[in-house]
């Protein structure tokens, strides 16, 4: 059976009867699988049950996917503060089912107007990453609030103020601290170094806030109350002034004028074909969409049964394809307002066919270099901004078939580890290359005033040949997002897995140099065999947060990554 027929059979097999097959989590690969959740009308999958509940309630009240995304993100910023929130940014895809149109919204942070290319150099050398993270220089202008309001104005149905109430209510009454949040606080002792994070995340005895504690956040509730009429106060009022003051107190240069100048960018979705299906994501300044499409196009040139096996051959092919994608990413991708990124050339089918021919199925390449795609007009040096996995993803489909794929972040776990207005501030500017030039050539992703740092975030939607939505998915994970999302796409679209099985499957990943195998899963067994193929191999915890919705003829299937606290709910 060929790839298209196999996927068509999967769609025809899905029906309401599937809801009766739901069962307790099982451990078949070393990762405890959360069972799929089935629905007829709408579905929300987020990284925390409280956020999923908020989205579900909005959808049940007749709200759109955009409305539900606003409510869910505001709750996530409270209950999962280490990953996203008002102090961060995001990339978002919105599918308007009636108009059959896909929108791409860029809510990425921007550098201050006086940012300097050498801001992360000390004595001419890149400073230690964590020193940069915890400095005021790491904080960019938050884009998340503006993105939420822009999304609501374009696609919302319910009143804006009402969408803020679930988060405001939880902030006032208190939310239950989860074991995961407790463990992350305990593992980040530097949160004690600043008064506001010490007071919020630790008790009087300086013990980390205990799991099960009802944690209140009156400052966050007050910030949301200020935003009930819109986000203008965030960018031109007391919140903006508080953010700028907090950053400057830590040596940064962010000013209130930088916040006032912030704007959302509406971009063209970046789409390509994989086994005849249309796969869409974000273009620059995200490298995620380009890299995912490159990996898929390269893998498509190998037999399906080889690509979708769970053995060393499939792992080898996937890692080598990803290494080719990362070589291009590190050289070419940056903010398109500052660098002429050859985006179309990087996803050109003929170019990728030539790249695929570099892949040796019998041996890992000793060195992988960037190619020369069509439309390349620049000459840059490779730069590798250090991305950390302080990120979250949510997927939503509403009762009218509209959908949101929304990857949102404050960059590192707990961001810059400073707070203003009850939320953590991002350290997104450490996603820039610390070295502005190499061997006399500029690095495309160097720091520049007003520039958006490169990202690997890859919110994705996939469509069939008739333009019907098939899949909504994305993940946190820093630069590993690219591998997590690409492998999930091959497993669902080509391998016949349901979304819950796919997000639970063992990870094989790379960020360009090392083949990474997920600790505690069947992937570990591949280590010796991949080493014999010439790979540098590392067995690591690969903590994705994949959240997806698979759309069949008459059923929505939700899958939440068991590695995090996520949950799916539908009706």
Q: Which of 391, 290, 277 has the alpha carbon at shortest distance from 332?
A: 290
Q: How far apart are CA 105 and CA 385, in angstroms?
A: 22
- What is d(CA 64, CA 520) in angstroms, rounded to the nearest whole number? 39
* Cβ atoms < 10 Å from Cβ of 308: 18
Give the relative orientation of helices 65-79 and 49-60 as an angle to the nearest 10 degrees.
160
Tell me how far apart the alpha carbons of residues 154 and 73 are, in angstroms, rounded to a whole number. 17
**What is the C-alpha separation between 5 and 1, in angstroms, rounded?**
6
Q: How far is CA 143 from CA 119, 235, 282, 420, 548, in A?
A: 21, 10, 16, 15, 24
| 391 part of the active site | yes
The three-state DSSP-derived secondary structure of 123-183 is: CCEECCHHHHHCCHHHCCECCHHHHHHHHHHHHCCCCHHHHHHHHHHHHHHCEECCHHHHH
Burial (Cβ within 10 Å: 0-12, 13-18, ≥19) of residue 565: buried
Name which of 428, 455, 433, 452 is nearest 444 in CA terms. 433
Q: Give Cα separations from 346 to 79, 257, 266 (angstroms).
A: 39, 36, 21
Residue 403 dihedral angles phi and psi, to the nearest 5°: -145, 155
Residue whose structure tokens are 């919705």:
549
Beta bridge partners of 104: 93, 267
If one counts every other C-beta atom within 10 angstroms of the C-beta of residue 236, the result is 14
Between the alpha carbon of residue 182 and those of residues 48, 185, 196, 372, 521, the distances in Å are 14, 5, 17, 47, 25
Coil, helix or strand for 441? strand
Determine the length of the chain: 571
- Catalytic choice (391, 408, 490, 555): 391
Is the separation of the CB atoms in 44 and 55 below 8 Å?
A: yes
First to last CA, the chain: 34
Task: Quickly tell me which residue has 């230690």 as its tokens.
Answer: 128
Pairing verdict, β 515-518 and 537-540: parallel
For 465-544, where are the E strands, in sequence order?
469-473, 508-509, 515-518, 537-540
> Among all residues, which ones are annotated catalytic?
391
């Amino acid at each position: 059976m060929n790839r298209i027929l196999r996927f068509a059979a999967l769609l025809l097999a899905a029906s309401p009867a599937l809801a009766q097959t739901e069962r307790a989590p099982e451990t078949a690969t070393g990762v405890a699988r959360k069972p799929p959740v089935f629905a007829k009308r709408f579905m929300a999958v987020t990284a925390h049950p409280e956020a999923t509940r908020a989205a579900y309630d909005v959808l049940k009240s007749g709200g759109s996917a955009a409305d539900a995304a606003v409510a869910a993100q505001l709750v996530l910023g409270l209950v999962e503060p280490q990953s996203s929130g008002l102090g961060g940014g995001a990339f978002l895809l919105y599918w308007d089912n009636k108009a059959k149109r896909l929108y791409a919204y860029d809510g990425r942070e921007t550098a201050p107007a006086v940012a300097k290319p050498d801001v992360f150099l000390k004595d001419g050398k890149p400073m230690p990453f964590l020193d940069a993270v915890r400095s005021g220089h790491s904080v960019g202008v938050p884009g998340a609030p503006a993105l939420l309001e822009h999304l609501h104005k374009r696609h919302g149905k319910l009143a804006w103020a009402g969408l803020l109430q679930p988060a405001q209510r939880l902030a006032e009454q208190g939310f239950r601290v989860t074991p995961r949040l407790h463990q992350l606080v305990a593992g980040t002792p530097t949160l004690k170094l600043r008064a506001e994070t010490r007071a919020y995340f630790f008790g009087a005895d300086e013990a980390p806030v205990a799991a099960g504690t009802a944690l209140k956040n009156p400052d966050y509730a007050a910030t949301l109350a200020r935003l009930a009429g819109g986000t203008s106060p965030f960018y031109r009022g007391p919140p903006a002034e508080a953010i700028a003051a907090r950053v400057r107190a830590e040596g940064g240069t962010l000013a209130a004028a930088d916040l006032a100048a912030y704007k959302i960018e509406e971009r063209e979705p970046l789409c390509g074909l994989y086994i005849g299906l249309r796969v869409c994501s974000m273009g620059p300044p995200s490298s995620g969409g380009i890299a995912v499409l490159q990996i898929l196009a390269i893998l498509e040139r190998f037999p399906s049964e080889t690509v979708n096996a769970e053995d060393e051959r499939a792992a080898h092919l996937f890692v080598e394809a990803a290494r080719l994608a990362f070589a291009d990413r590190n050289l070419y991708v940056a903010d398109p307002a500052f660098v002429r990124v050859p985006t179309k050339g990087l996803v050109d089918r003929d170019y990728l066919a030539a790249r695929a021919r570099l892949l040796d199925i019998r041996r890992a390449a000793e060195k992988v270099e960037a190619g020369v795609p069509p439309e390349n007009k620049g000459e840059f040096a490779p730069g590798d901004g250090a991305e950390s996995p302080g990120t979250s993803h949510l997927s939503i489909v509403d009762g009218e078939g509209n959908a949101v794929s929304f990857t949102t972040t404050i960059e590192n776990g707990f961001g810059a580890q400073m707070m203003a207005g009850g939320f953590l501030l991002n350290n997104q500017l450490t996603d820039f290359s610390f070295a502005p030039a190499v061997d006399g050539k500029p690095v495309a992703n160097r720091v520049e005033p007003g520039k958006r740092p490169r990202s690997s975030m890859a919110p994705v939607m996939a469509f069939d040949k008739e333009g019907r939505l098939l899949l909504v998915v994305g993940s946190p994970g820093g630069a590993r997002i690219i591998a997590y999302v690409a492998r999930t796409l091959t497993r669902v679209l080509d391998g016949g897995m349901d979304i819950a099985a796919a997000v639970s499957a063992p990870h094989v990943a790379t960020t360009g140099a090392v083949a990474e195998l997920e600790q505690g899963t069947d992937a570990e067994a591949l280590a010796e065999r991949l080493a014999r193929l010439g790979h540098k191999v590392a067995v690591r915890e690969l903590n994705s947060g994949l959240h997806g919705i698979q759309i069949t003829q008459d059923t929505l299937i939700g899958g939440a990554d068991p590695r995090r606290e996520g949950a799916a709910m539908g009706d």
